[in-house]
Amino acid sequence: MTNKSNQKAAYACNAISGDLEFLRLLGKGSFQGIIHSSFERTFNVTCLENGELYTIAARHLDNGPNTLITDLDSCSTLELAVGDRIFVSNNCIKIENKFNISIRQTEPWQCLLPVYPADTALLKRNIFEAKLFIQEHGQAGGMKKSITTDNIIQTEFARMLEERSRSLLEQLSLARWESAVQQAVSLIGLGPGLTPSGDDYLTGLFTVFNMPDSPLWPYRSFCMDVVLHASKLTNQISCITMKKAAAGQVREKIVQFMQAVIHSTSEETKDRLAAVLSIGSSSGTDIALGLIHGLELHLN
């Protein structure tokens, strides 16, 4: 007979907030998945129904698409393993017998990008200040070229990223959509990092395409045309990030910066930009440059 007092109880926590669509999916009670990957502050789950990745995050991260924010301080102590099975029962996410997450009082979050302004004077000023801020505080090594490096591979990545992104922007400015798709696809998977720099740059660019009432809004199908190629060229985590951005779904920090650059003071814009730059190693800088270059396309 098994001694129940010796059985290890499942660790429990609460979900604080979560992506609205993710919560609706969980609310059906039929969600099933497996652990895809685990990190210090997050772990990712593959949904067995639709194949998409979903993220469970510690309290210090911001909201995002397909993401649930918990009251955990860290995910590294949970002893999760790739392939662990996940299901939902009684408003609770259960991971094997290791870990339970209550979703009973989770606050829903929805990504809503700001509407492009009719008067762009403030936007122009804030973009100018944002570019200077990135030059001073952005992380080099991806889209931002490192001035002092002896790393041949890093130098070559920087050259390719600069050439291909410049060509992409040129084709977009001329409305040569077929060629622009080809140039964008050439950026996928290019550069260092778990989410390569080219992918992060496109995430920022796709965000700007999805601003309602913007000059590029009628052409946002361009983003999905590019993403169709992503699964064969980059990893699954980066792929789902670009796919969501192509549909106008991005992290809360990015939304807050977009709102600030349109409506707020220079100082508020810099504060929100600093939060974007804090994403990953060079990922935040790569995303920010995609946002800025996209906004400049609007203005031009």
Q: In the predicted model, is pLDDT for residue 250 greater than 80?
A: yes
Give me the amino acid identity at 287.
I
Task: Tell me how far apart the 2 most distant CA atoms of the chain are, in Å.
Answer: 76
Domain ranges of the chain: 7-109, 121-299
Distance from chain centroid for Cα 227 = 14
Q: Give the residue among 167, 238, 162 at the shortest CA–CA distance from 199.
A: 238
Taking residue 285's Cβ as centre, other Cβ atoms within 10 Å add up to: 27
The pLDDT tens digits of the residues spanning 170-180 come to: 999 999 999 99
Mean pLDDT along residues 208-217: 97
The pLDDT tens digits of the residues spanning 86-109 come to: 999 999 999 998 889 999 999 999
The pLDDT tens digits of the residues spanning 3-36 come to: 443 344 467 899 999 999 999 999 999 999 999 9
Cβ-based burial of 56 (10 A; exposed 0-12, middle 13-18, buried ≥19): buried
**What token pair was written down for 105?**
């009082």
